[in-house]
Amino acid sequence: MTAIEVEHLYKTFRIPHEKRTTIFETLTGAFKPPTYETFHALKDINFTVEEGEALGIIGENGSGKSTLLKIIANILYPSSGKVTALKRITPFLELGVGFQFDLTAVENIKIYGTIMGMQKREINDKLDDIIEFAGLEKFRDTKIKNFSSGMQVRLAFSTAIQTNPEILLMDEVLAVGDMEFQQKCLDILSQYRKDGVTIVFVSHDLGSVRRFCDKTLLLNKGEQIVLGDTGDVIDRYVYGGGDEAPTAGSQNELDAVEPDVKPEDKNPRWGDKTVEITGVEFYDKFGNKGSRFNSFDPMIIKIFYNAHKKVSDPVFGIALYSETGENLFGTNTELKKASIEYLEGKGHVDLMIERIPMITGRFLLTVAVHTHDQKPYDWHDKQYSFDVMPTGRDVGLFEVPCSWKI
């Protein structure tokens, strides 16, 4: 059975150049028609969510994710199109909506519980559980303005999870709070999944989306780019989909290839340029050029060179740095026993990475070509960078291959 149906949904915001907020301004400006900027927040969105299914919505900031969620939640109205929800919707767009800071913990549980759609009896029955779960037994009758923000969040969260949602809308709630709190949120989400609650989940955390969502919707500037299996959609998001990214130049037409990742700054570059590095490109598992990769995916780094005269026994090397500048890894053709007899003219050497071991973050790359005895021809120090997007929930800089034995 379908739980949510979205058909040809459009949302346009009119942003006035000069906002009139009073009757006075409206009257004095009556002869000057107001001028507007129109902003298309959502354009022709279509999808359905089946009962018990979890839909992830991903996209860059400003792509319309939250607007879409608010329209489903009935908070904003669509400019055209239709949203049908056949079940009761519980939005978790923010924790602690309607908290009154001058009232006590118990009073706030009653108000917030009611707002979240709980019945009076239900709240009274669960009151003690909620307070215990939040760890606030001693502060039942304390006004919550005297609570720390952590206590307020715990109170809101333990109240919110007592609701029995049919359709749960979740916006970045997980983004707040410490690791322990995020873990609790994910546990609750798993529980709801098991109970067959229909979930619409907006997040930047691709790892969580991958873990919880059956299918995923990718938005870009308000347009529905792709809807489908979560793994495919995340690949499409991370690797840009392939159709707009330029494809790699074929090996035979190297002269025509103009690498677009060029050294940005001349200073951290040295060497006599007998062999010049003309560019470095990163290729993903689909063979497309890009600078964003899923962790644990394969990757190819192509180094383009131009040897102005014949040089023998050159060595190509790379060094990888974290964003804070720590050297993580370095290797060269000599160490990997890929000796080059001589170079002449243009060409490229490729570094094949089977599996990116880094978990998340931006990484800087130094690329160099030098003689056998370390005299640089061309050295580009930390001139290239790429981003790694997390796919799992392990933390840290890189993955250590391991397993547990119990």
Applying CB under 8 A, among 83, 86, 93, 349 the residue interacting with other proteins is: 93
Among 1, 17, 24, 337, binds other proteins (CB under 8 A): 24
Q: Which of 102, 243, 244, 373 binds other proteins (CB under 8 A)?
A: 102
DSSP of 115-137: HTT--HHHHHHHHHHHHHHHT-G
Calculate the dihedral angle through the C-alpha atoms of 77, 83, 86, 89, rounding to the nearest 10 degrees. -40
Tell me whether residue 2 or residue 79 sits nearer to other proteins (CB atom): 79
**3-state class (DSSP) for residue 46:** strand
| Burial (CB count within 10 angstroms: exposed 0-12, middle 13-18, buried 19+), residue 4 | buried
**Alpha-carbon Rg for the chain in angstroms:** 28
The region of 100-108, 130-138, 181-189, 301-309 touching other proteins under the rule CB under 8 A is 100-108
Nearer to other proteins, 120 or 336 (CB): 120
| Helices H / strands E in the chain, number of each | 8, 18
Residues 97, 112 contacting (CB under 8 angstroms): yes
Q: Determine which residue in the list 94, 128, 195, 258 makes contact with other proteins, applying CB under 8 A.
A: 94
Minimum distance of other proteins from residue 267's CB (angstroms): 48
Give whichever of 46 and 100 is closer to other proteins, judged by the CB atom.
100
Which of the residues 31 through 70 are near other proteins (CB under 8 A)? Answer: 70
Contact present, 317 and 370 (Cβ < 8 Å): yes
Question: To the nearest whole angstrom, how small is the minimum distance from the Cβ of residue 96 to other proteins?
Answer: 8
Q: Does 145 bind other proteins (CB under 8 A)?
A: no
Decide whether 93 or 227 has the Cβ nearer to other proteins.
93
Nearer to other proteins, 96 or 259 (CB): 96
Decide if residue 77 touches other proteins (CB under 8 A). yes
176 binding other proteins? (CB under 8 A): no
Q: Are strands 299-312 and 327-332 parallel, antiparallel or unpaired?
A: unpaired
Residue 91 makes contact with other proteins by CB under 8 A: yes
Q: Which is nearer to other proteins, 165 or 249 (CB)?
A: 165
Q: Which residue number, 28 or 327, has a Cβ lying nearer to other proteins?
A: 28
Whole-angstrom CA distances from 163 to 37, 324, 354 are 41, 44, 46
26 contacts other proteins (rule: CB under 8 A): yes
Neighbours of 300 (CB within 10 A): 16
How near is the Cβ of 149 to other proteins at its closest, in Å? Answer: 15
Tell me if 379 contacts other proteins by CB under 8 A: no
Return the bridge partners of 384, or none. Answer: 365
User: In the bound complex, what is the minimum distance in angstroms from residue 151's beta carbon to other proteins?
Assistant: 18
Secondary structure of the chain: what % helix, strand, coil (to 5)? 25, 40, 40
Interface with other proteins, residue 311, by CB under 8 A: no
**Residue from 9, 58, 89, 127 that binds other proteins (CB under 8 A)?**
89
CA-nearest of 156, 207, 146, 209 to 181 is 156
Tokens 């606030």 belong to 136
**Phi and psi, residue 75, nearest 5°:** -85, -45
Q: Is 80 in the site for other proteins (CB under 8 A)?
A: no
Residue numbers at the binding site for other proteins (CB under 8 A): 13, 21-24, 26, 70, 73-77, 89, 91, 93-94, 97-98, 100, 102-103, 107, 110-111, 114-116, 119-120
